[in-house]
Amino acid sequence: AIGLAVFASDALSSTAYATQEMMVILALAGAGAFHFSIPLSFGIVILLTILTFSYEQTIHAYPGGGGAYIVARDNLGELPAQTAGAALLMDYILTVAVSISSGVAQIVSAAPTLFPYRVWIAVALVMFIMVINLRGVKESGIVFSIPTYFFIIMMYTTVILGLLKYFTGSLMPVINPPEIEMIHAAHPITFFLILRAFSNGTAAVTGVEAISNGITAFREPRSKNAGQTLIIMAFILGSLLLGITFLSYNIGALPSESETVISQMMRTIYEGRGVMYIAGIVATTVILVMAANTAFADFPRLSALHAGDGFLPRQMTFRGSRLVYSYGIVSLSVIASLLIIIFQASVTNLIPLYAIGVFLSFTLSQFGMARRWWKVGHLQPGEERVEKGSTLRFENGWQYKLVINGFGALVTFLVMMVFGITKFLDGAWIVIILTPILVSIFYAIHFHYKRVASRLSLTNYNVPPKIRRHRVILTVGGVHRGSLTALRYARMITDDVTAVHVTIDPEESQRIQKKWEIWGDGVRLVVLDSPYRLFVEPLLEYIEEIAKNMQPNELLTIVVPQFIARGKATQLLHQRTADTLRKELLFQKNIVITEVPYQLGE
């Protein structure tokens, strides 16, 4: 049951905006077109049913987790997998932008004075989630389950109460519905308009794939539990969508940026903005924020998969690489915030960008599953084929399964095409352009790694000649415990040490030379005059002079003493010479720069 709570927020939260977004399009043909919202909802429930059957099969086939990326990779190949990855990436970004925008729309419905600040509230919410995720959240199932169950209970209570009122004839129309400028200039009710409304409604099914990604979080028997959860979730989602749409139509709710349809429905059923109304709005807002949060949780997981296959920086493979992980979280937040700002925190403006990525990943995933059943059908009974994401064994009835996923692929493909065509000018073009760009970036990274691998390959590798000479240059700023510690290190790794001191003050240089005679352990000290008060430049010149005359079997180590202070601020008082040298000598072969730390203690 925890599984439902964790993975359902993304899917269930869409009921907060799907009905309204259908109505926004229908409103173009006038209020008389609103009754289409009910058959359209049934259409979406059919789509949801198809997806549920399809994903139920995925869950059993990929008990280790069957996201679109894995299914496409194992069954369709590299390019479809990368395409699915790009689609998912955009799905995550838009899940954040849409969910937060819808959440803020609910807040603004309850507190209309906040309307002018909605963009900033939305950005602030994204930043809040970002900070939480940067600090690292333990995905505690119980904490996550409270808002989900609260939302489910609140929504069912509202819908059932509303239906009771409807059947007893006591359901009133909305008092003071928001004003919209549609009534005049009515559009004819064309087939294309109905398709556009349907496209908007498909936002309702975004997020149903979440469970198939997270099967490993379920208790054993995993696939069975996950599959059942999927079916329960789909049932809740479908019934809520139908109920909300039916009630919204019957109370005469109007789609508007200033008050959401959910808010109109709640205040009509609860007869005003009382406690129940507030509870309903809070429940809706919170589950939308939770939905946005899932994108933050999924994002590093997908990145790790990509990185493991060499299509994103390798270091993303590992968790706990805080720096890299942080880059990802911050990028996701910044891009989502930019979208929110550009589209003024309007779900209606954002929705044309949303579902296309989702349906692209659906299509690739279902088509990959169909391909998998084909492969399964052509194995010998008893034969096993191990793939990266799952193990293939012959199964009876593979033909039926192929038909189910094949049909799912066809339907989602058609929906995607409808969406792309009807929403092209509204913003879908952005996603259609961005997808190939993202895929190209993935490939550019991949080719870099391939090129590196071939450079590093040990085929035809001639073991380089044994090192004949290992010289050490020890940089000396003064004669003290720090430099003597470094000297000890230098003497240990070779017998061929030269100490070098850069001076801008002849007097000080004499003092250092005298001290070095006592403490320098017989090591030669070279003093480099720096009349122009430069430090790194004379040192580099000296090193490069030596490097020029080095044989291929010679090696040079620059040993740099480094004070380590306790505090970050005090550390700034001590130059990091090694870092500077390393940057300058990066491309010089056979030079190693070694920093020997000297801890200053308290």
What is the footprint of a copy of itself within residues 60-99 (CB under 8 A)? none
DSSP state of 233: H
Q: Which of 529, 15, 565, 514 is nearest to 240 (CA)?
A: 15
Shortest distance, CB of residue 589 to a copy of itself, whole angstroms?
6
Cβ partners under 8 Å of residue 186, min gap 6: 28, 29, 30
Enumerate the β-bridge partners of residue 474. 499, 559
58 lies in the site for K ion, by CB under 5 A:
no
Partner touching 570 among a copy of itself, K ion, none, CB below 5 to 8 Å by kind: a copy of itself
Q: In the complex with a copy of itself, which residue's Cβ is closer, 140 or 315? A: 315
Interface positions, 576-595, toward a copy of itself (CB under 8 A): 580, 582, 586-587, 589, 591-595
The residue whose two tokens read 């005059």 is: 529
530 lies in the site for a copy of itself, by CB under 8 A:
yes
d(CA 117, CA 418): 35
Question: Which of 63, 147, 207, 227 touches K ion (CB under 5 A)?
Answer: 207
514 lies in the site for a copy of itself, by CB under 8 A:
no
461 lies in the site for a copy of itself, by CB under 8 A:
yes
DSSP state of 558: E
Question: Which of 9, 41, 95, 248 touches K ion (CB under 5 A)?
Answer: 95
d(CA 48, CA 44): 6
What separation in angstroms does the CA of 73 have from each of 87, 189, 315, 321, 388? 14, 42, 21, 25, 9
Shortest distance, CB of residue 518 to a copy of itself, whole angstroms?
8
Interface positions, 7-36, toward K ion (CB under 5 A): 10-11, 14
568 lies in the site for a copy of itself, by CB under 8 A:
no
> Which window, 99-107, 142-150, 228-236, 444-452, contacts a copy of itself (CB under 8 A)?
444-452
d(CA 592, CA 558): 6
Distance of CA 383 to the CA centre of its chain: 38
The residue whose two tokens read 């491309």 is: 587
- Contact indicator for 292, 96 with CB cutoff of 8 Å: yes
How many residues are listed for the chain in this entry?
Answer: 602
> Which window, 68-76, 255-263, 418-426, 477-485, contacts a copy of itself (CB under 8 A)?
477-485
**Largest pairwise CA distance in the chain:** 105
Q: In the complex with a copy of itself, which residue's Cβ is closer, 42 or 519? A: 519
Partner touching 146 among a copy of itself, K ion, none, CB below 5 to 8 Å by kind: none
Q: Please, is 422 exposed, middle or buried when counting C-beta atoms within 10 Å of its C-beta (0-12, 13-18, 19+)?
A: buried
Shortest distance, CB of residue 363 to K ion, whole angstroms?
15
484 lies in the site for a copy of itself, by CB under 8 A:
yes
Partner touching 56 among a copy of itself, K ion, none, CB below 5 to 8 Å by kind: none
- Beta strand 554-564 pairing with 469-475: parallel
453 lies in the site for a copy of itself, by CB under 8 A:
yes
Q: In the complex with a copy of itself, which residue's Cβ is closer, 54 or 503? A: 503
Q: In the complex with a copy of itself, which residue's Cβ is closer, 142 or 458? A: 458
471 lies in the site for a copy of itself, by CB under 8 A:
no
d(CA 353, CA 424): 9
Q: In the complex with a copy of itself, which residue's Cβ is closer, 382 or 531? A: 531
Residues 583, 588, 591, 592: what is their CA dihedral angle, to the nearest 10 degrees?
A: 30
- Beta strand 384-386 pairing with 496-503: unpaired
- Contact indicator for 472, 494 with CB cutoff of 8 Å: yes
The residue whose two tokens read 């309702």 is: 204
Q: In the complex with a copy of itself, which residue's Cβ is closer, 397 or 601? A: 601
Partner touching 49 among a copy of itself, K ion, none, CB below 5 to 8 Å by kind: none
Partner touching 207 among a copy of itself, K ion, none, CB below 5 to 8 Å by kind: K ion
Question: Which of 19, 54, 58, 206 touches K ion (CB under 5 A)?
Answer: 206
Partner touching 574 among a copy of itself, K ion, none, CB below 5 to 8 Å by kind: a copy of itself
Shortest distance, CB of residue 212 to K ion, whole angstroms?
12
Note the residues at the interface with K ion (CB under 5 A): 10-11, 14, 91, 95, 206-207
